[in-house]
């Protein structure tokens, strides 16, 4: 496979990943998160990441086999020699954007987890404070007098 079709395929995968990350971000910023949708996006994202990594490994092997240096400078040089430096620049930009989106989504997930933990802690404390009695009625609060006595 020559470099240009390989890079076009890689670009398409990165674009699909960007769409998935944007969709994931939308789900994470909704008030009520659909766990099914989020799981579907996560699964698709994992599949896409695996394909991207497999393609990248293939490209790096070919790059090394053809005598180009490893890393970004070797990849850029290979793209220049193959006549597709603009395509390579687009891939680098997409990869940067995808990385930024993925990092932001990770932060959003972390914030949601922290918020859920705070709510769980509050509910556990409230349950321990006896907000509701065995009869389902609100329990006593500090400073309140029990009129049932």
Query: Token digits for 67?
Result: 């005598």
So what's the pLDDT on residue 107? 94
Distance CA(128)–CA(119), nearest Å, equals: 14
So what's the pLDDT on residue 132? 60
Residue that is written with structure tokens 């891939």 in the block: 91
DSSP 94-136: HHHHHHHHHHHHHHHHHHHHHHHHHHHHHHHHHHHTTSB-TTS
Residue that is written with structure tokens 């053809």 in the block: 66
Contact 14, 102 (CB under 8 A): no
Q: How many C-beta neighbours within 10 Å does residue 104 have? A: 14
Q: Does 121 have pLDDT greater than 60?
A: yes
So what's the pLDDT on residue 135? 73
137-148: average pLDDT: 55
So what's the pLDDT on residue 1? 56
All structural domains of the chain, each given as residue ranges with its CATH number in brackets, are: 3-128 (1.20.58)
Average pLDDT of the chain to the nearest whole number: 86
18-31: average pLDDT: 92
So what's the pLDDT on residue 74? 92
């Amino acid at each position: 496979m020559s470099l240009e079709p390989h890079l076009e395929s890689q670009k398409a995968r990165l674009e699909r990943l960007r769409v998935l990350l944007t969709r994931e971000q939308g789900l994470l910023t909704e008030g009520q998160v659909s766990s099914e949708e989020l799981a579907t996006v996560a699964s698709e994202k994992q599949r896409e990441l695996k394909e991207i990594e497999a393609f990248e490994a293939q490209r790096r092997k070919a790059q090394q086999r053809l005598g180009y240096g490893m890393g970004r400078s070797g990849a850029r040089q290979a793209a220049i020699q193959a006549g597709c430096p603009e395509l390579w620049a687009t891939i680098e930009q997409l990869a940067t954007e995808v990385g930024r989106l993925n990092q932001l989504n990770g932060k959003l997930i972390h914030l949601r987890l922290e918020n859920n933990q705070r709510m769980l802690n509050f509910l556990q404390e409230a349950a321990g404070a006896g907000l509701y009695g065995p009869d389902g009625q609100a329990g006593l609060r500090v400073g309140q007098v029990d009129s049932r006595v």
